[in-house]
Structure 1
Amino acid sequence: MEILFFLLETAFFLLIGSALLRAWMNHLRIHMRAQPGRFVMALTDWLVKPVRRVLPRPLAQGRIDWGSLVAALALALAYGVIRALALDLVYGADLSAAASLSMILVIGLKLLVRVLLQGLMVLLLVYAVLSWVQPQSPLMATLYRLCEPIVRPVRRIVPTVGGVDLSVLVLLVLLQVGLMLLG
């Protein structure tokens, strides 16, 4: 049963992470023609496009991609429903409707925050490693645009040590602390 939970969580993690990355890329006005834009759109179009058609006009326009954010939230809540039902079936927990609803919300929102924190960690790790190993990579320009708004405020506070920028390392530690608090 743990293997099934793991596979289910991994699938939802990938879908939610793609929806959140799509929202971030749209917010930063990064073209979706290059990677990871094409991959993200291939994974999320089936849900984001219908959500955008249902959203009220003021939310459908503007700098915030509400369609992708609502899709990520819907996926997280769907995971919460599936996980709560599976826990109910496997362990026979007979919960009231209010307890079931709160459990669904907690499971879904916890996954959403975890995907956000771990997704940022992956982006920052790839950004840091690629900046050392292959700084002229075509992917580096996209990673720079994705990570720089997050790194810039920390870079103002954390001084360079011996010519080395430690802001990404500080962010990784903070994200890890956030994951520990979430767990």
Structure 2
Amino acid sequence: MISGAFAFLVQTLGNLFVIAVLLRFMMQLFRVPFRNPFAQFIVAITDFAVKPLRRVVPGLFGLDWACLVVALLVEL
């Protein structure tokens, strides 16, 4: 019973994090200004996972492809 609830909680938090990372990528794609509070919140939530991966995965065409790699890794 508890393990099922814990698995549901972990899966839900993982899915919310993937949504935040994909939102970060979409904000870059549509050139959303990162000075608004919502954009700053998304960047603050996802920075710990995206920043280290930027050293390995380069950006291309002005987009941060490390965001997509993080989303893929979390989803797996």
| Same topology, TM > 0.5 | yes
1:12 maps to a residue whose letter is: G
Residue equivalent to 2:60: 61
Q: List structure 1 segments (4+ residues) > 6 angstroms apart after TM superposition.
A: none
Deviations 1:33-92 (A, max 9, x none): 213211111111011111111114xxx131433111111111112xxxxxxxxxxxxxxx
1:22 is displaced (CA, Å) by 0.1
Q: Does the 8 Å CA contact 1:22/1:68 hold for their aligned counterparts?
A: yes
Q: Does the 8 Å CA contact 1:27/1:65 hold for their aligned counterparts?
A: no
Instruction: Give the alignment of 1:156-167 within 5 angstroms.
Output: none
Counterpart-to-counterpart distance in 1, 2:18 and 2:54: 16
Counterpart-to-counterpart distance in 2, 1:42 and 1:75: 17
Q: CA RMSD in A?
A: 1.3
Residue equivalent to 1:70: 69
More helix by share: 1
Taking structure 1 as the reference length, the TM-score comes to: 0.38
Identity %: 38
Counterpart-to-counterpart distance in 1, 2:54 and 2:70: 9
Equivalenced residues, count = 74
Secondary structure of the structure 2 residue equivalent to 1:48: helix
Residue equivalent to 2:25: 23
Taking structure 2 as the reference length, the TM-score comes to: 0.85
Give the gaps of 5 or more residues in structure 2: none
Counterpart-to-counterpart distance in 2, 1:63 and 1:28: 11
